[in-house]
Structures are given as structure tokens and as C-alpha cells.
Amino acid sequence: MSCQPAEVLVSQRRRWLVGAGVAVAAAATGIALVLVGGGSAVTGTPAGLLSPSVLGKLQPAPPLGPSGYEGVPVPNAAPLASTATMAAGQQVDGISCQSDFRLLFHWHAALTIFAYGKQRQIPAGVGIIDPKETRNSKGQPYIQEGKCFYWLHTHAPDGVIHIESPVQRGFTLGDFFDEWGLPLGADQVGPAKGHVTVFYDGKVYQGNPRDIPLVDKAQIQLDVGLPLIAPDLISFPKGL
């Protein structure tokens, strides 16, 4: 299956109207993805978000890294973990790994992680089996193809989670970490252990990190331990 950013889709995929929906064909691979009109997904912002001021003084966020393939900054940091722990194609939390499916919606959420004040990168290829990396003319890496794609996955090491669902349902950050094969809870994010402070769209989230909803343009930051880093929201580029 080939899955590409919006700006690449325009030039490399054929588009045409099919009734109330839009069909998108991947010309290079022959795999077709269909966005069905009228479909919707569970949406909403978590209740009870608080101002970051309740946490006292926060350390400023580090400078943004260079812009990556998707037009989103790539952290100058080591990965939180590799993809070696990832699910091997079996269903996870009701989420399948497929090579050909009909999309009801395609969303994007941004995930940022700090462990003890140091930023950690979310690697490309989470949720993609047998990923095949490509690079553009600037040398920026991107996972464009793979044997199959889980409905939650990453194409680049920029923290953008692609939410591409053929069914009407909600997704959480816990689902993404289950695909990745890493623990996530109030006191652990992958291999990093300590109290987890959560920011959602720049505000303090009070619930279990596993329950954070993944909705379009959501910006999620997880701080493990101290010091706490002030949330620094990104601007999603056109097409994401």
C-alpha cells in the first residue's frame, strides 16, 4: 500500500467523484482508497482542561527542529523507542492492518514527548508493517509504502499521527501506543517512567493519558517527570 501526504497526492493520484464520495487511486501501486461521503467520526475536546498556570513556572520549550517532509518540525532528539516492539499485523484494539481499505476520514494529530526535560522523537513507521523509506530532493525521510497500514500510523519522525479510518469510531492515544507495543499510563510513557503531565491543545489534561482522544489537529504533549516544559503549539501546514 502507498500512503502519501496531501501535496504528493495531488500530483501522483487520480481523483474523481463517485456519487456522494470521492475516490482516490494510487496510480503508482494500483491500490485504491475511497473517501466515502457522509461518513463521520467521534469528535470532541476533553472536558476539564486547565490553564498551564496551575502548574507554576514551566521551562520554555526548546527551539523547533528543521521542517520535515510533511512541513512539520522534526525534533533534534533521540527516539523515545524504536518500532521493534510494534504489533506484527494482528488486530490491535479493534484496529486492523490493511493494504486496501475505504476511508471514512483522514485526520492528523501531533504528539510531542519530553522525558525528564529532554525531548524524544516519535519514529517514522509506527503502525506500518515492512515500511519502505523514501527521501525527497532535500534528503528528508518519509515512509510512503508498506505491506500494510494500521489505521493509526506515522509517516515521518515529526510526531504527526495519521488517523485513517474505514469505520466510524473514536481513537485514543492508548490505541496508538498499543499498536507501537509500548506502555502508556499515568506514570509511564514507553521506557520513560515517572509522573506524566499531559497538555492537550496547550492546556492541562487531567485524565488518563491512554484516554486522550485523537481528533483532527489535536496537539498532545506528554511530560514524564521533571522539569515540566511549556507547550509550544505547531502550525499544521496546508494539506495536513
84-102, pLDDT tens digit by residue? 999 999 999 999 999 988 8
What pLDDT is stored for residue 61 in this prediction?
Answer: 97
Asked if 71 contacts 156 with a C-beta cutoff of 8 angstroms, the reply is no
DSSP calls for 87-155: --SS-BTTB-EESS-EESEEEEEEEEEEETTEEEBPPTTTTEES-EEEE-TT--EEEEE-SEEESEE-S
- Half-sphere exposure for 201 (CA within 13 Å, toward CB): 14
- Percent over 70 (pLDDT), the chain: 82
Asked if 73 contacts 66 with a C-beta cutoff of 8 angstroms, the reply is yes
Checking if the pLDDT of 3 tops 60, the result is no
Neighbours of 47 (CB within 10 A): 8
What pLDDT is stored for residue 77 in this prediction?
Answer: 96
Query: What is the grid cell recorded at 91?
Result: 488486530
**What's the rounded Cα separation, in Å, for the pair 122 and 158?**
7
Of 73, 67, 74, 70, give the one whose Cα is nearest residue 142: 70
What pLDDT is stored for residue 43 in this prediction?
Answer: 58
pTM: 0.83
Residue with cell 499544521: 236
Q: What is the mean pLDDT of residues 117-127?
A: 98
Higher pLDDT among residues 6 and 137, named by residue: 137
**23-32, 96-105, 208-217 — which is least confidently predicted?**
23-32
As a whole number of angstroms, the longest Cα–Cα distance in the chain is 54
Of 93, 98, 53, give the one whose Cα is nearest residue 184: 93
**What's the rounded Cα separation, in Å, for the pair 96 and 232?**
33
Query: What is the grid cell recorded at 169?
Result: 469510531
Checking if the pLDDT of 7 tops 60, the result is no
Cα–Cα distances (Å) from 226 to 81, 115, 170, in that order, read 20, 8, 31
pLDDT tens across 126-176, in order? 999 999 999 988 889 999 999 999 999 999 999 999 999 999 999 999 999
Asked if 199 contacts 192 with a C-beta cutoff of 8 angstroms, the reply is no
Angle at alpha carbon of residue 71, lines to 111 and 173, rounded to 5°: 15
